[in-house]
Structure 1
Amino acid sequence: GGGTRNPALRAALTRTLAPAPLITFADLGWDARGFTDATREAAAFAFLGYAHAQGWPSTLPHTTGAAHAARTGKWSPAPGAS
C-alpha cells in the first residue's frame, strides 16, 4: 500500500522503533519474489473481506483497546448482484 511510499510515516516509524531498525518486506526480498506492496495490500483486503463474510471479528479488545470484539466493515454488493 501507500504507506510503504510515505516518507513521513516511515520516518515516524523509524523514530518510534529506534533503536530497532525499520525492516521492510523489500529488505527481506519479498518484492523480488513478486509479493510487492500492492499485492500485499490486495491480500490483506481479501483476508479482511473473507473474515467479514465468515463473521469473524476484526477488532479485539487486547489488540485495539475496543470495549468488545466486533465485526467491522460493510458488505456492499454491486447493484443487481446477489
Structure 2
Amino acid sequence: MGCCIFAAMAAIGPRVALVLTWLFTTLVDRAFTGVLLPLLGLILLPWTTLGFVFAYAPVAGVHGVGWLVVLIGLLLDLSSYGGGARSRR
C-alpha cells in the first residue's frame, strides 16, 4: 500500500511528493539530520532526494539497490534540467 501512495504522489510531482512525505511521515527526518540538506534537495534535486529518502534504511543507510534508486533519481533530475535547456533553444 505504501508503494501505491508513493507512486500516486510522485505522479503529481517530486516536490509535492517530498513535501507530503516530509509532513506526514518520519522518513525524511530518519534519512537526514537537520533541515538544510533536505531543503536544498527539495529545491535543486527533488527526484534524487526523494529516492534517497525511500532508499534509506535506519540501521545500514543506503546500500545495494538503494543506490540504484538514488542514481535513477539523479538521472531524472539531470534530464529535467537538460530538457528545459533544450526546449528554450
Q: Comparing both structures, which one devotes a greater share of its residues to helix?
A: 2
Report which of the two structures shows the higher radius of gyration computed on alpha carbons: 1
Flag the structure with more relative contact order, 1 or 2, with Cα contacts below 8 A and sequence separation at least 6: 2
What TM-score do you get using the length of structure 2 for normalisation? 0.27
What TM-score do you get using the length of structure 1 for normalisation? 0.28
